[in-house]
Amino acid sequence: MRLGLTQSLRTEQRLIQSPQMIQAMQVLQMPLMELKDQVDQELQENVFLERKDEAERTEAAAAPEPQPVEDRLQREFSQEIEQLEARLEPNWQKRQGSYSGDDEDKKLEALNNTPGRSTSLPEYLMTQVRTQEYDPELIRVVEHVVYSLDEDGRLTDTAEQIAQRLLVPLPLCEEAIEVVRDLEPVGVGARDLRDCLLMQLDHLVFVRPLTRLIVDRHLDDLAMNKLPKIAKETNASTDEIKESWEFLRTHCNPHPGSEFTGPTSSGVIPDVFVEEVDGKFEVKTQRGSVPELSISPHYRSLLQEAKSDPKIYEYLRRKIEAAKWFIEAVHQRQNTIERVANEIVRRQEGFLRHGVQHLKPMKMQDIADAVHVHISTVSRAASGKYIQTPQGIFDMKRLFSSGTLSDQGDMVSQQAVKDTLKQIVDAEDKDNPLSDDQLVEELGKRGVHIARRTVTKYRKALGIDSSTRRKQF
């Protein structure tokens, strides 16, 4: 066997995605709110892009005499420098108050009405710490503890681990942890759920001994809804156990850091609207919510003027090309979503008229074949998009599912089966909830035959507890 380095030539074909293709796929996958933000960002970064209504006003106005490109760019650059320097002056805010233009008033009003950044849990805790006169070394350890808390406000690290990590004495770490445990909201710095609840019970004026005993020794049984077992071991009645449970649910918060985590919820804005007109369903996309973009005619003329300077000409040409590609990507997104939505509506007329129970099995490959695109394009077009129908607003991806054969020989979608399963559970006797085997029997009575493990999977996907935990005492 001969070893060594050799050279060889070979031909191969590979699909390489251009930056424009990548941008088009990214724009297609964006939900409506993200697309709006992206449009605003592109308008700020690319001077050649402008809203169509602004372009029309610009064309209607009298065009000023053209200036040399170098002079105009130099003047704009000088204005930006002056604005930046003005913002560094101490009396900038006073100077802003002297401006009387309508545009300045609108900008100032928008700034005043912009909500501030929400305070995080560590920031909130450190604000309390800095109001106290603690030793600087202790504050350093406290800050480490605060930023080690998880999203629920619990501390998983021990004092020994923190001391070893910061190379500080163990008593100092123990003191820092106690400082954090004394902060608001009550329960931060707890080791686990039991510790968190006990901390909160300690701050209440009156707590029944039974409630504290349940938290201290029977919290796992309470989570599993084993009330008879708790009653037997505590010599209390089931009603007393239920009262203590209700007291915990009312007066304690198992996640004290939850109010400081997670983004602010924003309302769902559908990308597609389905309306019934003269007995037929019509699809309308949210084109009006996305601003119409166009190429600025003023900067287009600059491209002709800049031909004498190759560097400026190349810069302007790249900006114009980027603007054109972005406009095309936005239009392509709208057209693709509309084509996909039209095909979905054509196949799901029963669902649109009668609800989820009549949702037909439908795969993305079926839609892709019908509209002559790749399946990944359908996936991107449906991802994060919502469709408003006569039955309500739905995630478009929820309308895709495989099917199960019913007794009548029809294919029933998984979503329809899940909806039937939820209806059965909602209507069951809460004192004697149905087991998974019994749910299989109930579905069979409705003509749907699936395995027990499938029922368990669907039940968990719907967030439905087991029969043991659903039982009411």
Domain shared by 178 and 205, yes or no: no
Task: Tell me 399's DSSP state.
Answer: G
- What are the pLDDT digits (tens) for 457-467? 888 888 888 88
Q: Which of 355, 377, 399 corresponds to the end of one domain? A: 399
Domain shared by 375 and 438, yes or no: no
pLDDT, position 54: 58
Task: Measure Cα distances from 261 to 177, 268, 413 in Å.
Answer: 21, 20, 36
Domain shared by 276 and 356, yes or no: yes
Give 179's pLDDT tier (boundaries 50, 70, 90): very high
Question: Averaged over 73-95, what is the pLDDT?
Answer: 43
Question: Averaged over 375-383, what is the pLDDT?
Answer: 89
Residue 431: domain span:
403-470
Give 267's pLDDT tier (boundaries 50, 70, 90): low
94 is a domain residue = no
Task: Tell me 413's DSSP state.
Answer: E
Instruction: Please check the confidence at residue 389 and state whether its pLDDT lies above 70.
Output: yes
Domain shared by 237 and 291, yes or no: no
244 is a domain residue = yes
- What are the pLDDT digits (tens) for 406-461? 666 666 777 888 888 988 998 888 888 888 888 988 888 888 888 888 888 888 88
339 is a domain residue = yes
Domain shared by 280 and 395, yes or no: yes
Q: CATH number of the domain that 444 lies in? A: 1.10.10.60
Q: Which of 144, 160, 191 corresponds to the end of one domain? A: 191
Residue 358 in tokens: 């009549």
* Angle, vertex CA 172, rays to CA 158 and CA 143, nearest 5: 75
Tokens 């995605």 map to which residue? 17
92 is a domain residue = no
Domain shared by 390 and 407, yes or no: no
Instruction: Please check the confidence at residue 81 and state whether its pLDDT lies above 60.
Output: no
Answer with the residue of higher pLDDT: 104 or 259. Answer: 259
Q: List CB contacts of 310: < 8 A, sequence separation 6 or more.
A: none
Domain shared by 228 and 254, yes or no: yes
- What are the pLDDT digits (tens) for 278-307? 888 998 886 656 778 877 777 666 766 776
The total of structural domains in the chain comes to: 4
Residue 299 in tokens: 């900067």
Domain shared by 291 and 390, yes or no: yes
Task: Measure Cα distances from 127 to 138, 143, 230, 433 in Å.
Answer: 15, 11, 42, 49
- What are the pLDDT digits (tens) for 125-158? 988 888 888 888 999 999 999 999 988 889 989 9
427 is a domain residue = yes
Q: CATH number of the domain that 146 lies in? A: 1.10.10.1330
* Lowest-confidence region among 23-27, 268-272, 298-302, 392-396: 298-302
Domain shared by 394 and 419, yes or no: no
Q: Cα-Cα-Cα-Cα dihedral of 130, 131, 133, 138, to 10°?
A: -30
Question: What's at 458, amino acid-wise?
Answer: Y
* Lowest-confidence region among 54-63, 366-375, 438-447: 54-63
Rounded to whole angstroms, the Cα distance separating 445 from 48 reads 65
Rounded to whole angstroms, the Cα distance separating 273 from 400 reads 18
Q: Label residue 327 exposed, middle or buried (CB < 10 Å: 0-12, 13-18, 19+).
A: middle
Q: Which of 235, 259, 283 corresponds to the end of one domain? A: 259
Domain shared by 293 and 391, yes or no: yes
pLDDT, position 359: 84
Task: Measure Cα distances from 224 to 13, 66, 216, 351, 446 in Å.
Answer: 59, 78, 15, 38, 31
Q: Is the dihedral of CA 390, 391, 395, 397 positive or negative?
A: negative
Domain shared by 306 and 216, yes or no: no
Instruction: Please check the confidence at residue 357 and state whether its pLDDT lies above 60.
Output: yes
Stated pTM of the model = 0.54
Give 84's pLDDT tier (boundaries 50, 70, 90): very low
Domain shared by 277 and 394, yes or no: yes
